Amino acid sequence: MTQSLSQLIEHSEIRHIAIEGVIGAGKTTLAKMLADKLPAKLVLEKFEENPFLGKFYEDQDHYAFQTQLFFLLSRYKQQQELIQADLFNRFLITDYIFEKDKIFAYLNLEDDELKLYETVLTAIEHKVPTPDLIVYIQCSVERLMTNIKKRGRDIERNMSEQYIRDLNEAYNYFFFRYKSAPLLIVNATQIDFVHNPSHFDDLISEIFRANKAPVEYYNPAISRK
Sheet (strand 92-94) strand order: 41-43, 92-94, 16-21, 133-138, 183-187, 215-218
**Active-site residue flag, 95:** yes
**How much of the chain, in percent, has pLDDT values that exceed 70?**
92
* pTM of the shown model: 0.89
Write the pLDDT tens digit of every residue in 163-180: 999 999 999 999 999 999
* Average pLDDT of every residue of the chain: 89
Per-residue pLDDT for 135 more than 80?
Answer: yes
Identify the pLDDT of residue 159: 87
Q: Which of 86, 95, 112, 132 is catalytic?
A: 95
CA distance 184 to 85: 23
Instruction: Please tell me the least confidently modeled range out of 80-84, 88-92, 140-144.
Output: 80-84
N-terminal to C-terminal alpha carbon distance within the chain: 18
**Dist. CA 126–CA 61, nearest whole Å:** 29
What pLDDT band is residue 9 in, cutting at 50, 70 and 90? confident
**Tell me, what's the pLDDT at 116?**
97
Query: Does the pLDDT value for residue 220 go beyond 70?
Result: no
For the CA atoms of 94, 101, 65, 83, the dihedral, rounded to the nearest 10 degrees, stands at 50
Question: What integer is the mean pLDDT of 170-193?
Answer: 92
pLDDT at 102: 96
Given this model, what pLDDT does residue 211 score? Answer: 56
For residues 119 and 9, the model is more confident at 119
pLDDT of amino acid 224: 44
According to the model, what pLDDT value does residue 172 have?
95
Higher model confidence: residue 213 or residue 102? Answer: 102
Q: Which residue has the higher pLDDT, 130 or 216?
A: 130
pLDDT digits (tens, 9 = 90+) for 148-167: 999 888 888 888 999 999 99
What domains can you pick out in the chain, each with its CATH number? 5-223 (3.40.50.300)
